[in-house]
Amino acid sequence: MAATLILHHYDLSPFSQKIRSQLGYYSLDWQSVRHAPMPPRSTLAQLANGYRRLPVAQLGADIFCDTQLIANEVIRLARGDEAARNSDVNEDHTFIAYLDGECFFQSLVATAPIPLIKTLLHHYSMGDVLRLLGDRARLLRRGAVMPPVPGIAARGLRKHLLDLDRRLGAQPYLAGDSPGVADFAAYHSLWFYCRMSARTLPTECAAVRRWYDSIVAFGEGGRSEISASEALAVAQTSEPRPLPQSQISDHRLGQWVSITPEDYAREPVTGKLVACTHSRWIVRVDSFALGVLHVHLPKRGYAIGLVDPEEMRTAV
C-alpha cells in the first residue's frame, strides 16, 4: 500500500499553504504534524538532517525538502509517475521561482505590520511573537536575498496583481483549464497577504479575485493530525523507496556531500549522495534512532559541495 503523505508544517506558513491547497485540489488524504514557527524543531532536525525550513514532506523513510519537490510528490500521489515527470519537465520553473522568490517577499513586506502582529498574537504569546520576529530578522540578515522596502513592495505587488490578471484573462487558471504548480505558487503569497493584512484583493483585478476564490474553495483535502513521535515511528519502521530509474551521472555519487539553500536559512543537509536526477539530489542519512533515511533536495536554488569524510567520522 502506498505510504500516506505526512506534511510537517505550521498553520500560518505560506509555503505550507501552497501544498495544503494543492492537496485540497487533488482531494488527497494526508497526515499533519504541526511544528513551531521557528527552531528548535527536534523532529525536523532528526528527519531532515539540518534543513530548517517548512514545509517538509515525509513518505515513510523518504523526506522531501522544499515545495518544488513536495508539489511534485503530491502530483505523483494523485496522478501517477508519468504526470509527475511531465510536470517536472513542462512547468515554467523560472516563473515559479519568481513567484516563490520576488513575489513572496513583496507580499510579505507589503503586509501591514499591525494586522500581522494582531494575527500572530491570536496564535502565539507575545514572547513567542517577539522571538519569531527576531528569528526572521536574523534569518534574512544571514541570507543572500534582500527583501524590498515597503513602498517598493507595495508597488511591486500591485504590478504583479495586474500582470496575473492579464495572464489569467478569461482562462480559469494560470496553467489553463486546471491548476498547475504555478497557480499554487502564485496563490500562497497572496493568501498570506490577505489573511495577515485582513485585506481583499483589488476589485480591478476581477480575474485574480475569481481565481483566488476558486483555490480557496479547494480546501486542504483530508487532513488528520498525528504526533511528531508517530511520524518518527513511521520513518523508523519504513525502508526508503527504490531510487529513481532515470538518473544522470554525477562524479559525487557515493561521496559525502552537503547541500545548502542558496537564498536564506542556509543550513546544510549532509549525507552520502545516492541519486541524482535532472531536478533532484537524494542523500542517504544513517540515523542511529531512525535507521536509513533518504533526504530529497531540489537542484534549483541549492548548492552542493563535497564534505571531508574524516570530518563526518569525527562528527559521529
Ligand X SMILES: N[C@@H](CCC(=O)N[C@@H](CS)C(=O)NCC(=O)O)C(=O)O
Tell which one of 6, 7, 14, 232 touches ligand X (CB under 6 A).
Answer: 14
**Do the beta carbons of residue 208 and residue 183 sit within 8 Å?**
no
312 counts as binding ligand X under rule CB under 6 A: no
- d(CA 38, CA 10) in angstroms, rounded, equals 10
111 counts as binding ligand X under rule CB under 6 A: no
Burial 83-94 (b: 16+ CB within 10 A, else e): ebbebbeebebe
Contacting ligand X within 21-80 (CB under 6 A): 37-38, 52-54, 66-68
Residue nearer to ligand X on the CB measure, 158 or 300:
300
Site string for ligand X, 232-271 (x = CB under 6 A): ---------------------------------x------
- d(CA 192, CA 275) in angstroms, rounded, equals 35
Residue nearer to ligand X on the CB measure, 37 or 268:
37
Residue nearer to ligand X on the CB measure, 15 or 218:
15
Q: Which of 77, 47, 79, 78 is nearest to 64 (CA)?
A: 47
Closest approach, Cβ 72 to ligand X, in A, equals: 12
Q: Judged by CB under 6 A, how many residues of this single chain contact ligand X?
A: 13
Closest approach, Cβ 249 to ligand X, in A, equals: 27
The angle subtended at Cα 240 by Cα 238 and Cα 245, nearest 5°, is 150
Residue nearer to ligand X on the CB measure, 41 or 160:
41
DSSP result, 6-75: EEEE-TT-HHHHHHHHHHHHTT-EEEEEE--SSS--HHHHHHHTT---S-EEEETTEEEESHHHHHHHHH
Query: Residue of minimal CB distance from ligand X?
Result: 53
Closest approach, Cβ 140 to ligand X, in A, equals: 10
Which position has the grid cell 494523485? 78
15 counts as binding ligand X under rule CB under 6 A: yes
Binding footprint of ligand X on the chain (CB under 6 A)? 13-15, 37-38, 52-54, 66-68, 100, 265
